Structure formats: structure tokens, C-alpha cells
Structure 1
Amino acid sequence: MGSTRKRRTYTPEYRREAAHLVIDTDRTIATVAGEINVGAQLLGRWVQQERDRIGAPPEAPLDASERAELERLRRENTELRLDNEFLGKAAAFFAAKNTPGRSASR
């Protein structure tokens, strides 16, 4: 048999507060879920339950152009994140190469 992990439980207050991190800040469920270390599907249920409880209108589904724009922005975000990582590594490389005691004009 596999290991049995105890299922985490969350208080109703915690669930409401987590849901409001999405509802009140316009951050995505996936972003908030990652920040608070909760599964995105679980947080999505909490958000829906809280919206139902407070009578908030559900988010309107994206139309085709909005969906395409979102996908383009996600790709661009990924590319920029990778570029930023590379630039950080390159800067560290050149900083290490230019340590005191070495001639800067090689």
C-alpha cells in the first residue's frame, strides 16, 4: 500500500479570505493558488462558492479575441521570464569573470 497522507482541512474563514484574494484583486485563481499553496481547482470552488454567497456576478467568459490576446500575453510573459533568467545568469557570469585581481582589459 502507498503512504497515506492526511488531507488538509481549511476553516470557512480561510476559504473566504482565499477566495477574496481572487475576487478583490483581479489576480487569477492559478496565481493565488500558487501563492497560498492550494490546488487551483480547490480554490476555484471556493471562489465560486463565495461569489454565490455574496451574490457577485460570475466572470463573463472570454470571447475569441480576448482568449487569443490572453494566450499571446501568456507566451510573451514566459519568453520574458526566460530572457530575464538568462540575463541574470549572464550578469553573474560577467561579474565573476571581472573579479578583482584580474586585468579588465584582456
Structure 2
Amino acid sequence: MGKKIYEKSFKEKLVKLHLEEGRSVASLTKEYGLGQGSLNIWIKNYRKECSQTETGTKDLELLDKIRKLERENKELEKENNFLKKAAAFFAKEIED
């Protein structure tokens, strides 16, 4: 059995789901039934193509920055929720 050939539009769709929407490679490969190696190669090739143009490079840098900020935001939200619960707990202890 030979290698399966995927349409360029399909590859771009999965790469954009990963880069723009932050979907993990593992979740995409599981959902679409392909190997992680294939998707990683498509991502690498897309980044390579984009890096050949100034606009593409800036877009990739912005996407990386957005993903980093989204991760930081999630972490800060978790910390904030923890602190709210701790404050409520200690406020209740003081009242009792």
C-alpha cells in the first residue's frame, strides 16, 4: 500500500487549525486519522514558505506571540480563580 496523497487545501486547513486556532498536533492527527509526522512536516513546510516573504514572517511571529499570550492568559486565569477561592475561604474563617 502506497503513501496517501492529501490535497493542498486539506493540508493548509490542518496547519491553520494548529497555528491560528491553537489546536494541538496530537488532537488533529487523532481527529483526522493521520500520523503526527505528516502534520509536523506540513507545518514545517508552511513556516518555511511563509518565512520566504516578509509578510509571512511577520504573520508567523504574530501567531507565535498570540499563542504564547493565550497560554499565559490561561495560567493567570487559573491563578486568579485559586486566589478568589482562597480569599473566600479565609473570609469565611474570619467570620466564623
TM superposition score category, shorter chain reference = 0.3 to 0.5
TM-score with structure 2 setting the length: 0.48
Q: Considering fraction of residues, name the structure with more helix.
A: 2
Q: TM-score, normalised by structure 1?
A: 0.44
